[in-house]
Amino acid sequence: MASRRAAGEDLARHGLRATRQRVAVLRLLRRQRGHPTALELHARLVPEQPKLSQKTVYEVLDTLVGVGLASRVAQLGGPARFEARLGGHYHVHCRVCGRLLDVPASADGPILGRASLPDGFRVDAIHVTLEGRCLRCQDEV
């Protein structure tokens, strides 16, 4: 679902104007297999939108995250990464090569069952990132 029309409709459903910049960032984010940084998205968009600033990309990403059309994946010691895949999944992060991959989520129930939450607190989302070394990097120090 990376069409201009679908992106514009989704933006409108969330009360946002479908500006050229918002549509372009959302479409590109939906086409990505990985978890690009704002700077990586900017570099990919500049050839088709030469006047697009890095600041605008950051602002659009903040807006998309704010309304739930994208999510920010924080990495310890690295720049924030973004994704438009919003279904239940976790992440695995290789500390050697930096790869960040999606894995199916299956522990939400046990996590919630073991969490001591303050009275009245409602959980809207659970974000899990497992840190380690991928198969290619296991022999690295």
Mean pLDDT of 124-130: 83
Q: What's the per-residue H, E or C state across the chain?
A: CCCHHHHHHHHHHCCCCCCHHHHHHHHHHHHCCCCCEHHHHHHHHCCCCCCCCHHHHHHHHHHHHHHCCCEEECCCCCCCEEECCCCCEEEEEECCCCCEEEEECCCHHHHHHHCCCCCCCCCCCCCCEEEECCHHHCCCC
Question: Which position has the token pair 């479409």?
Answer: 27
Domain 87-137 fold: Dna Ligase; domain 1 (3.30.1490)
In CATH, the architecture of 4-81 is Orthogonal Bundle (1.10)
pLDDT at 1 > cutoff 60: no
- The ranges assigned to domains in the chain are 4-81, 87-137
> Do the Cβ atoms of 69 and 84 come closer than 8 Å?
yes
The string of pLDDT tens digits covering residues 50-87 is 999 999 999 999 999 999 999 998 766 778 899 998 77
